[in-house]
Structure 1
Amino acid sequence: MEETTVEIIKTSGEKVKFSMEKLRSSLKHSGADDKLVQQIVDTVRDELYQGISTKEIYNRAFVLLKKKKSVFASKYKLKKAIYELGPTGFPFENFVAAILEYSGYQTEVGKIMSGICVSHEIDVFAEKNGNVRIIECKFHGDEGRNCNVKVPLYINSRYEDVKQQWEKRSDTSKNRVGGGVVTNTRFTKDALAYGKCVGLHLLSWDYPEKNGLKDRIDRLGLYPITVSQLLTEREKQFLLSRDVVLCRQLLKDRFFLDHLGISAIRKEKIVKEVEVLCRS
């Protein structure tokens, strides 16, 4: 069945032509070799039908990857794993802060900063080499909800209020201050246009191109603990409540696994899984 003949339904309800190349690309992103990728593409293609949902396609590919190697499945489910950081946005804020820290920034989550008009709670305050970033995180718990232009409009007004107050302080006059928005979904065209126009740093699942959230996570091996195939949902929520959001953090704070009463054998398997993800 040719890919141009099948219409699939996205989470948003939109109908699009199925792209074999997009499926192949996402599978390669998991670390699977060309032979395995082709096997899965062939299997999924044979099971396609008009009106199949992207979720069904994802689930089928995920199962096939997991049968072969769990670490491939973990990387493939990255986008879903970030949604699982919810239902509140706080773990996502910690996740963004952790990514920035591994890029050399000092961060603070939930910092209260005075503006010219009012005080604001900043999701992530980040500082590196005299550069200060005031970052707001827009977390969506379900697919299909993108950040429209209202988001950078609102955030830019808050940023400008804080920036004006910041620049009045003599002890911070040498710092270069920038505002930013990070989301786990995507920005609309108008949101991108406005954000770029006013100079906001924008980061989404796939923006900037080749340097979006998914690219940075893969490049730096900064996977959220929610990608784990061995931890239960209860265990993941326990770790998130202790601000352990990255697999790398779990390697440092593996004593939390003892608090959960995890057996030595299972603990060894979890640590091995996490180590492979961090190396990949």
Structure 2
Amino acid sequence: MKTSSNKISIVKASGQVVQFSLAKLKKSLKRTGANDEVVEYILQTVQEELYEGITTKEIYNRAFALLKKKKRVLASKYKLKKAIYELGPTGFPFEHFIGTILKFSGYKVTVGAILQGECVEHEVDVLAHKNNETIVVECKFHSERGLVCNIKIPLYIRSRYKDVKNYWNTFKKHETTLTQGWVVTNTRFTKDAIQYGNCVGLYLLSWDYPSKNSLKDIIDRLGLYPITVSTLLTNREKQFLLNRDIVLCRELIKDNFYLDHLGVSDVRKKRILTEIDQLCNS
């Protein structure tokens, strides 16, 4: 290479130009559970192929292909962010995904609830109950890379949450107390969105926020991977499963008869189930 990789400019999905970070690539590879030998091999290979103006998508695709050759389960974990985008184009599978994560965290969940507010009715994405407390969750899904949640989102959601809360906590038939409003996105919050959310008491959850308990951290910690991470299922098969509310790999392991409905051969079915079982238990 004529230029040090540390001085190479790369183009993000948003169009922003930034300097390539070897440390960030290494961190993303280490998150998959790849050993040092595999990580160093991929870092070296990618560095040798860098050029000025390369896109983050090209870098990702190369690293993904190299991981896939080494071990499919590593590639599945590496494509987690992309896999969540693939839950689209509508936001409903993402809402179901977030609802399922909350179920695994001990909540009783309803996806798509109509709630009466002090002024008007509101349709909320996820309603979750635990320990005599209730939370209202609004999901902002983006199927297009490079988009973020700006301050308008928490501003709007807070006003709806306040209207619902004012009615909920004065209605005697409700057996729980409405304690918190959440905003969840598969992308990122802007700095002022985070500042405002924290100021007014909204709980914000995004791909990388809050630190150490972000969406990606929770998924990795609980092993709650969406079926879209699979490197063996086709796009048609993934859509078939999503249309039947099979959103998590764990759900497919339990209800694997859907693979029979898809006409998947016994040999391929075994490979698919082995892949996602390794992923959920890695």
Over residues 194-226 of structure 1, what are the superposed CA-to-partner deviations in whole Å (9 max), with x where a residue is unaligned?
100110010000000011000100000000000
In structure 1, how many angstroms separate the alpha carbons of the residues matched to 2:150 and 2:55? 24
Structure 1 residue 253 corresponds to structure 2 residue 255 = yes
* SS in structure 2 of the partner of residue 136 of structure 1: strand
In structure 1, how many angstroms separate the alpha carbons of the residues matched to 2:175 and 2:110? 20
Is the Cα contact below 8 Å between 1:27 and 1:37 reproduced in 2?
Answer: yes
Structure 1 residue 278 corresponds to structure 2 residue 280 = yes
Aligned-pair CA distance for 1:5: 1.1
In structure 2, how many angstroms separate the alpha carbons of the residues matched to 1:173 and 1:195? 27
Is the Cα contact below 8 Å between 1:86 and 1:92 reproduced in 2?
Answer: yes
Gaps of 5+ in 1: none
* SS in structure 2 of the partner of residue 110 of structure 1: strand
Q: 1:95 aligns with which of 94, 97, 110?
A: 97
In structure 1, how many angstroms separate the alpha carbons of the residues matched to 2:107 and 2:176? 17
Gaps of 5+ in 2: none
Q: 1:170 aligns with which of 166, 169, 172?
A: 172
In structure 2, how many angstroms separate the alpha carbons of the residues matched to 1:76 and 1:239? 21
In structure 2, how many angstroms separate the alpha carbons of the residues matched to 1:173 and 1:132? 10
Q: 1:20 aligns with which of 4, 19, 22?
A: 22
Structure 1 residue 229 corresponds to structure 2 residue 235 = no
In structure 2, how many angstroms separate the alpha carbons of the residues matched to 1:97 and 1:174? 18
Aligned-pair CA distance for 1:174: 5.1
The amino acid that maps onto 1:217 is I
In structure 2, how many angstroms separate the alpha carbons of the residues matched to 1:128 and 1:187? 27
Over residues 104-152 of structure 1, what are the superposed CA-to-partner deviations in whole Å (9 max), with x where a residue is unaligned?
0110000000001111111000111112110000000021100000000
Is the Cα contact below 8 Å between 1:9 and 1:15 reproduced in 2?
Answer: yes
Q: 1:123 aligns with which of 122, 125, 128?
A: 125
Is the Cα contact below 8 Å between 1:135 and 1:182 reproduced in 2?
Answer: yes
Structure 1 moving runs of 4+ over 2 Å:
1-4, 171-174
The amino acid that maps onto 1:258 is D
Equivalent residues, number: 280
Aligned-pair CA distance for 1:3: 3.3
Is the Cα contact below 8 Å between 2:188 and 2:208 reproduced in 1?
Answer: yes
In structure 1, how many angstroms separate the alpha carbons of the residues matched to 2:157 and 2:183? 8
Match of 2:210 in 1: 208
* SS in structure 2 of the partner of residue 172 of structure 1: coil
Aligned-pair CA distance for 1:255: 1.1
Aligned-pair CA distance for 1:4: 2.6
Higher mean displacement: 235-244 or 168-177? 168-177
In structure 1, how many angstroms separate the alpha carbons of the residues matched to 2:272 and 2:235? 14
TM-score scaled by structure 1?
0.98
Is the Cα contact below 8 Å between 1:167 and 1:173 reproduced in 2?
Answer: no
In structure 1, how many angstroms separate the alpha carbons of the residues matched to 2:87 and 2:127? 20
In structure 2, how many angstroms separate the alpha carbons of the residues matched to 1:147 and 1:73? 28
In structure 2, how many angstroms separate the alpha carbons of the residues matched to 1:29 and 1:144? 22
Percent identity over the alignment is: 62
Match of 1:52 in 2: 54
1:68-79 equivalences in 2 (<5 Å): 68-79=70-81
Match of 1:65 in 2: 67
